[in-house]
Amino acid sequence: MKKEQILDMIGEAPEAYVADAKQPKRRIPKKWKWLSGIAAVLVLIMLFNTPAIPMIVTAKAVSKPTASRRLEHDDFYTAESFDREAFEQMTAEREAILSRAIPSLASFTAGCAQTAIGGTDAVNRLFSPVNAYIGLAMTGELVSGQTQTQILDALGAPTTDDLRAYVSTVWEEVERERGGEICSIANSLWLDRDITYVQKTMDDLAYHYYASVYEGDLGSSRTERDITAWMQNNTRGMITKRQPSGIPPEDQLLTLASAIFFQSKWRDEFRASENTTAPFHAADGDIKCTFMNKKEAHMYYFWEEDFGAVAMGLKNGSTMWFILPDADKTVDDVLDDSAYTDVITQSEFRSEESTNSRYMKVNLSVPQFDVSSSIDLKEALQNMGVTDVFDPQLSDFSASVVSETEVPPYIAAVRQNVRVKIDEKGVTAAAYIEIPGAGAGAPPDEVIDFILDRPFVFAVTKSYVPLFVGVVNTPG
Amino acid sequence: MKTAKMLTDDRIVELYWARSESAITETAAKYGGYCRSIAYNILFDAQDAEESVNDTYLDAWNAMPPHRPTALSTFLGKITRRISIDRWRRRHADKRGGGVMPAVLDELADCASPDDVESAIEQSEMARIITAFLDTLPTDERRVFLCRYWFMEPTAAIAKAFGYSESKTVSMLFRTRKKLREILEKEGYL
């Protein structure tokens, strides 16, 4: 065999080994050499999940069930024969809708986040924009008149037809289970059996929102068990308990439940052998944290007036964003400006503008965290102008409920529980990483240090759709 | 507010499949630097490297569809590597040239037949042998080997990246080549 043939043969090395060879490498001090052997068998798993139960509509009990519809979309990845014409048409239509839907989602995210997850205390606050957006969109189908107009305005949709297109397209864009990643969104509407509802509205929900619509005796232990089972099923068993609504059974008319489950792995895993222990400067004092580190990793670095951000690739094209306020700024400064949502949703990508970003080498240090929060989005939505739906005197549910009730239907609460976990099993190496600041302004030419050792904002996006946004004030 | 163009790999692949010319633009924005570094290591000439990278985009355009790579970066890197090696061979058929290629070929002569005779071997067979060989190597040894002979990096750069001395890197590569030679002998290709 000739040496040139051997060179060609090496070119046939498996992709996984080739990609692995270009993983950021690190000087390993002699005494820690043994750890690298352990790290080779370790896997970092990212796990995100949010349980549902965002909305509960109260009034006198009534109702009956309808059928459900499952997600149906052409899967061009697994089709036996590729229909290029259909694909091109689908792609063009989808792009056109997404180019309007994603800025609306970005704006909704910025509007909600400001009230819902802001705060410079030691509390972690998280929410799922896409989950809340779809939940509110479904509510928009149940109402009429000014109540509906307020919702459409908050969601950035001119008409209900636009909103339906936005939701179903976003859904089809993110709903996936392949390539080592799971992203699953599910919605349901639970009608009390004593209610008289508008069948067409329920059919529209099932068709345009892929919602399952059920009938039951809301508030009874049996229906509560059904809803809990639905939640368990749609969160892949990760969520087993629901918070009690606190609303008397006889007052419950409708319950809208929405769930999102997301699980993925880093495209380039962290190595446990490179973990370090260092202080995290929380609002109420320093706490010791385990930091996961990457040395000279190739990634995009973004900078804006109040923050710097990096994008970490996940399997199957999703992204986790770490957004660090500048040293003299807070997470509220980041959340008060929509610049961060423009970055994470790449809103202006389509406008072909130039960039405040660079693909470069980054020394990244991220604390391990497992944070959860339970928030009521009511105040955030009210601040965005969605008010009538929460007011029994003003709410107009005539699009969905026919019967006369003693108390007009209205929304009592918009609860959202979210948990985000970055988990890495294994040994941590003792070492110390320096703490340089990563502020605004153009980054240096070569390598930048990006150390998340103070409160920061994170986001998870898939195809520019914001699945989760959160503030980590205290990693734990 | 200004932000970057950064498409997901899936979306870039979709653009190729949709025959959208923006696939090339997006590939260049995301992986241009990566491909250029591979090409430059091999060709040691900026202009040649740029031409190889442009050829890479063309090959990727022709390959997708029907191909749908699982790792776009490695897929592109592999094309760049092949094109750059071919270009290097054409341009240096009668002279040694610069860069790491002459040294790499000299080193791989350790694993080749003494008379450097060509063997009849299918591409799939090559893939099987190199995979089986790499499977036997410890992780760091495998990484060092691929950095040298897949990415064509200088030994000094590899040594620095791994925190080894250059002499240790060179001797590690020597041992690895010896193992490769043993496998090739066992398989009957030497």
What's B101-187's CATH class? mainly alpha
CA distances from A270 to A10, A267, B146 (A): 27, 9, 20
Please compute the mean of the pLDDT values over residues B48-59 and round it to a whole number.
89
Choose among B85, B130, B146: nearest Cβ to A21.
B146
Answer yes or no: do A125 and A158 share one domain: yes
A417 Cβ partners below 8 Å, 6+ apart?
A: A50, A51, A52, A53, A239, A243, A372, A373, A374
Q: Do B74 and A300 touch (CB under 8 A)?
A: no
Q: Which residue has the tokens 């999940």?
A: A49
Answer yes or no: do A190 and A249 share one domain: yes
Closest-CA distance of chain A to residue B117, Å: 5
Q: Are A130 and A475 in contact (CB under 8 A)?
A: no
pLDDT at residue A85, rounded to an integer: 64
Give the nearest chain B residue to A319 (CA atoms).
Answer: B8
Question: The domain containing residue A447 runs over which residues?
Answer: 270-370+431-472
The reply to whether omega before A443 is within 30° of 0 (cis) is no
Give the nearest chain B residue to A76 (CA atoms).
Answer: B14
Choose among A6, A12, A300: nearest Cβ to B123.
A12
B115 Cβ partners below 8 Å, 6+ apart?
A: none
Helix, coil or strand: residue A134? helix
pLDDT at residue A319, rounded to an integer: 80
Q: Where are the domains of chain B?
A: 9-91, 101-187
Q: Do A357 and B6 touch (CB under 8 A)?
A: yes
Q: Do B117 and A2 touch (CB under 8 A)?
A: yes
Report chain A residues whose CB lies below 8 A from the CB of B139: 20, 36-37, 40
Choose among B4, B8, B105: nearest Cβ to A3.
B105
Residue A242 structure tokens: 């629901």
Q: Are B1 and A339 in contact (CB under 8 A)?
A: yes
Position A13 in a domain = no
Answer yes or no: do A196 and A218 share one domain: yes
Q: Do B151 and A22 touch (CB under 8 A)?
A: yes
Answer yes or no: do A199 and A111 share one domain: yes
Choose among B85, B116, B123: nearest Cβ to A2.
B116
pLDDT at residue B148, rounded to an integer: 93
Q: Do B112 and A353 touch (CB under 8 A)?
A: no
Choose among B2, B119, B180: nearest Cβ to A356.
B2
Q: Are A417 and A283 in contact (CB under 8 A)?
A: no
Answer yes or no: do A160 and A309 share one domain: no
Interface mutation vs chain B, best among A4, A12, A174, A446, most B CBs within 10 Å: A12
Position A22 in a domain = no
Interface mutation vs chain B, best among A22, A33, A460, most B CBs within 10 Å: A22
CATH number for the domain spanning A463: value is 2.30.39.10
A/B interface, count of CB pairs below 8 Å:
176
Position A41 in a domain = no
Q: Are A163 and A157 in contact (CB under 8 A)?
A: yes
The reply to whether omega before A51 is within 30° of 0 (cis) is no
Answer yes or no: do A327 and A465 share one domain: yes
ipTM: 0.86
Give which of B63, B55, B64, B11 is closest to B35, Cα–Cα: B55
Q: How confident is the model at residue B150 (pLDDT cuts 50, 70, 90)?
A: very high
Give the nearest chain A residue to B81 (CA atoms).
Answer: A11
Longest dimension (CA), chain A: 90
Position A42 in a domain = no
Q: Give the single-character DSSP code of A150.
A: H
Q: How far apart are CA A16 and CA A121, in angstroms?
A: 43
Answer yes or no: do A458 and A358 share one domain: yes
Q: How far apart are CA A99 and CA A350, in angstroms?
A: 7
Answer yes or no: do A384 and A457 share one domain: no
Position A80 in a domain = no
pLDDT at residue A17, rounded to an integer: 85
- Number of folded domains that form chain A: 2
Q: How far apart are CA A193 and CA A63, in angstroms?
A: 3
Q: How far apart are CA A351 and CA A416, in angstroms?
A: 33
Look at residue B55 and tell me whether its pLDDT is greater than 80: yes
CA distances from A446 to A3, A97, B2, B36 (A): 36, 39, 22, 17
Give the nearest chain B residue to A360 (CA atoms).
Answer: B33
Report chain B residues whose CB lies below 8 A from the CB of A22: 147, 151
A2 contacts chain B (CB < 8 A): yes
Helix, coil or strand: residue A435? coil
Answer yes or no: do A320 and A401 share one domain: no
What's B9-91's CATH class? mainly alpha
CATH number for the domain spanning A70: value is 3.30.497.10
Give the nearest chain A residue to B78 (CA atoms).
Answer: A11
Interface mutation vs chain B, best among A17, A75, A346, most B CBs within 10 Å: A17
Give the nearest chain A residue to B188 (CA atoms).
Answer: A1
Give which of A87, A376, A418, A86 is closest to A239, Cα–Cα: A418
Q: Are A465 and A170 in contact (CB under 8 A)?
A: yes
Choose among B6, B10, B85: nearest Cβ to A346.
B6
pLDDT at residue B80, rounded to an integer: 94
Look at residue B143 and tell me whether its pLDDT is greater than 80: yes
pLDDT at residue A439, rounded to an integer: 30
Choose among B1, B11, B65: nearest Cβ to A339.
B1
Answer yes or no: do A109 and A258 share one domain: yes
Closest-CA distance of chain A to residue B77, Å: 9
A124 Cβ partners below 8 Å, 6+ apart?
A: A369, A371, A372, A373, A470, A471, A472, A473, A474, A476
One digit per residue, the tens of pLDDT, for chain A of length 476 reads: 888 888 989 998 888 888 888 765 433 333 222 211 111 111 111 122 223 333 343 322 223 333 334 444 445 444 455 555 666 667 778 888 888 998 899 999 999 988 888 887 878 888 888 888 988 898 899 889 999 999 999 999 999 999 999 998 888 888 776 656 777 777 778 877 777 788 888 888 888 887 778 888 877 777 777 777 777 777 666 666 666 666 666 666 777 777 777 777 777 778 888 899 999 998 888 999 999 998 877 777 888 888 999 888 776 667 888 999 998 889 999 998 888 888 888 754 433 344 577 767 788 999 988 777 777 788 889 999 999 888 878 888 888 877 655 566 777 777 777 777 775 421 111 111 111 222 333 444 557 889 999 999 999 888 788 888 889 998 87
Position A8 in a domain = no
Q: Do B5 and A463 touch (CB under 8 A)?
A: no
Answer yes or no: do A257 and A287 share one domain: no
Residue A171 structure tokens: 């859904």
Answer yes or no: do A238 and A376 share one domain: yes
pLDDT at residue A87, rounded to an integer: 62
Q: Do A300 and B4 touch (CB under 8 A)?
A: yes
pLDDT at residue A248, rounded to an integer: 67
Domain boundary among A385, A400, A421: A421
